[in-house]
Structure 1
């Protein structure tokens, strides 16, 4: 499948493919991504190569993450296939707070949509805060409350 045996993703891939009940978990995840989110077989394989863990997540974790990112945030499903590690992050602690801040900034016209989902979710907390909260806090003091879940996007 094109994994470099010297990299940690090879070990994760082996775990996903050779673990207990791996075939049924693989098939379940593949079907969820394909049927529910429109991924092709190539999307599934590509996502697996990028982050093998995306194939061993629980059905609930996959569905909740994809539902939020696709249906609430408007990201195309196939974009998540290009950076599937995002699904491994905590929805409540990382994805929702960051996406909520970005949604507010977009709605207020302070940023353009010219950035990737990875640009929002992948950076460590401090660079994210500097890039999306601290930079705009003077214009939108409510951003801090949005980030901490004390204020809903629609209330800003």
Structure 2
């Protein structure tokens, strides 16, 4: 049991006050229990830092009764202030405003935990290769979590071929496309157009060898 490794000093000076704060701001007991079970170190943060981060998450508009509040708190507590500011600067290189960064974080808290290389590589492909507006990606920042080589490039490349051949009346949401199960994507965007683009399946397989 993880609790056994905590000494009484930890319990009285950090754990108990931090749990009490979460209760005061409206975090329900089931969520607190989930944190205790899955990420107990979160509750051992120095109390002044913990208090400050909780206030920051509340100011961003997170509902303390929802799991997203906990995910956001984990993300913020998991990095230093300088790292947090650096991640914001990485997104700002792509033209994101503070408001757009906050909006992306509110929808996808873990987006601030992504490495600089991951952010830059995915944004670079979507903006420079696919022609997406960088600020539009802030509204679907969940796309940044997918593997560039295994999913983003193969699927977006298929969409581009279909567009160039005039086969898509409406450009589908890239986020929805990336979320699709493999079989669903193949049926909807590859097999369906085998007659018009006979080499589409082999093209996709070259882009994604695991298929």
Bucket of the pairwise TM-score, normalised by the shorter protein: 0.7 to 0.9
**Alpha-carbon deviation of 1:113?**
4.5
CA distance in 2, matches of 1:86, 1:150: 18
Q: How many residues align?
A: 149
- Residues 9-43 of structure 1, C-alpha deviation per residue, up to 9 Å, x if partnerless? 22221121011x33223211110111x20011110
Provide the residue aligned with 1:74 in structure 2.
131
Would you tell me which structure has more helix in proportion to its own residues?
2
Please tell me whether the aligned partners of residues 98 and 147 of structure 1 are also in contact (alpha carbons under 8 angstroms). yes
Instruction: Let me know the Cα RMSD of the aligned residues.
Output: 1.7
If asked which structure has higher relative contact order (CA below 8 Å, sep 6+), I would say 1
**Alpha-carbon deviation of 1:147?**
1.7
**Alpha-carbon deviation of 1:106?**
0.5
Please tell me whether the aligned partners of residues 25 and 55 of structure 1 are also in contact (alpha carbons under 8 angstroms). no
Can you give the 5+ residue segments of structure 2 that lack an aligned partner in the other structure?
A: 1-59
Please tell me whether the aligned partners of residues 142 and 175 of structure 2 are also in contact (alpha carbons under 8 angstroms). no
CA distance in 2, matches of 1:140, 1:8: 45
Can you give the 5+ residue segments of structure 1 that lack an aligned partner in the other structure?
A: 152-156
CA distance in 2, matches of 1:43, 1:22: 21
The equivalent position to 2:146 in structure 1, one of 86, 89, 102, is: 89
Superposed, 1:130-141 pairs within 5 Å as 130-141=187-198
Q: Is 1:57 aligned to residue 114 of structure 2?
A: yes
Runs of 4+ in structure 1 off by over 6 angstroms are none
Provide the residue aligned with 1:2 in structure 2.
61
Local SS of the residue matching 2:168: coil
CA distance in 2, matches of 1:147, 1:8: 37
Provide the residue aligned with 1:33 in structure 2.
91
Please tell me whether the aligned partners of residues 16 and 22 of structure 1 are also in contact (alpha carbons under 8 angstroms). no
Please tell me whether the aligned partners of residues 68 and 109 of structure 2 are also in contact (alpha carbons under 8 angstroms). yes
- Residues 24-81 of structure 1, C-alpha deviation per residue, up to 9 Å, x if partnerless? 23211110111x2001111000000110111111000000000000000001101210
Please tell me whether the aligned partners of residues 154 and 207 of structure 2 are also in contact (alpha carbons under 8 angstroms). no
Local SS of the residue matching 2:171: coil
**TM-score (norm: length of structure 2):** 0.66
The equivalent position to 1:23 in structure 2, one of 65, 77, 81, is: 81
Bigger shift: 45-54 or 122-131?
A: 122-131
Q: Which structure has the bigger radius of gyration? A: 2
**TM-score (norm: length of structure 1):** 0.87
Provide the residue aligned with 2:161 in structure 1.
104
